[in-house]
Homo-oligomer: A and B are copies of this chain.
Amino acid sequence: MDMDQLAHFQCVAELRNFTHAAERLSISQPALSRSIQRLEEELGQPLFERKPRSVDLTDAGQLFHSRAEQILLILEDCKAEICDDGQSGRIRIAAIPTIAPFFLPNLLRTFSDAFPKASLIVQEDTTDNLMRRCKQGELDVAIVALPVPTKYVEVESLFEEELSLVLPCNHPLAKKKQIRISDVEHYPFVLLDEAHCLSENITSYCRQRSIQPVAMERTSQLVMVQELVTLGHGVSLIPEMAKKLDQSTRRIYRSMHGMKPTRTVAAVWNPYRFQSRLLREFREHLRAYSEAFVQQ
């Protein structure tokens, strides 16, 4: 039995389709069929129930699926551990879209300077997906905003940052010295899609003050929110890291008076996977960088 066969099996088990699995594995469909056949022969039991439009896992297949998973994880961690020299290696990093473009580039650059042999793989996804992929071992570190479900993962808060009110220059509130949340209650809000946790941060902040923000428009990128605000479509709350990078003179940021809205940025990882020296270095770098970041 070959480890490749296990990977083949896992792929078919996941996609429930030989043709698609063969494509993803970059082998021909007959080769994959035979690979699974050999496996079934060795185990003395069919692993799939072939149906005209798709395939299903048999009971034996179900069992083998979880065992193959274990074996492949052990092997992957073992390889990483054996090759762990503290310098080279791969780190898969991901962040949510409201953090990634404002926080990652400089973080990655500085880490890359310190560890030039490290290969950094960067991705962007929603909190839910990041958590799932962390648990499944597809990611080494995720950078998210709290709160997140902490089951099966380790969570470390990095820093808390303010959400500032962003206004077009000519907005009535722009002249006001102190702006309270109640002042913006009746202005329309520009928010991100529900998929983004920043929307949740903002609405929960408002809800605690018995205010219901009127979301006029929803978009999928923070820079788009900023632009729509500039065009007078409404106001919004923008994290400090995005404010810092904003070069535009056509909108202004104001710190809210009273209890300021904030969000907490945190690192998440799967503690059951092998933690390479490089990965621990990265997390250390991330801590130090975060500390410096809030003091800029």
A residues with CB within 8 A of B: 1-4, 43-45, 60, 63-64, 67, 70-71, 74-75, 78-79, 81-83
Contacts and interface: CB of A to CB of B under 8 A. Distances in A.
Contact of A75 (B1, B78, B79): B1
Contacts of A74: 67, 70-71, 74
A83 to B, nearest CB: 6
Contacts of A75: 1, 67, 71
Contact of A63 (B63, B70, B81): B81
Given A3-B3, A44-B83, 6 more contacts: A1-B75, A63-B81, A63-B82, A64-B78, A70-B74, A71-B75
A38 to B, nearest CB: 12
A47 to B, nearest CB: 9
Contact of A60 (B63, B67, B82): B82
9 contacts: A1-B2, A1-B3, A2-B2, A45-B83, A60-B82, A63-B81, A64-B82, A70-B74, A71-B74
A195 to B, nearest CB: 38
Contacts of A1: 2-4, 75
Binding site secondary structure of chain A: helix
A1 B43 CA distance: 18
A45 to B, nearest CB: 5
A2 to B, nearest CB: 5
Contact of A78 (B4, B44, B63): B63
Contact of A3 (B2, B45, B82): B2
Contacts of A82: 43-45, 60, 63-64
A199 to B, nearest CB: 44
Contacts of A3: 1-3
Contacts of A67: 74-75, 78
A74 B75 CA distance: 12
A74 B2 CA distance: 15
Contacts of A43: 79, 82-83
A28 to B, nearest CB: 21
A292 B116 CA distance: 73
A234 B44 CA distance: 57
Instruction: Give 3 closest A-B pairs by Cβ, nearest first.
Output: A67-B78, A1-B3, A60-B82
Contacts of A71: 71, 74-75
A207 to B, nearest CB: 49
A209 to B, nearest CB: 54
Contacts of A4: 1
A115 B70 CA distance: 33
A200 to B, nearest CB: 41
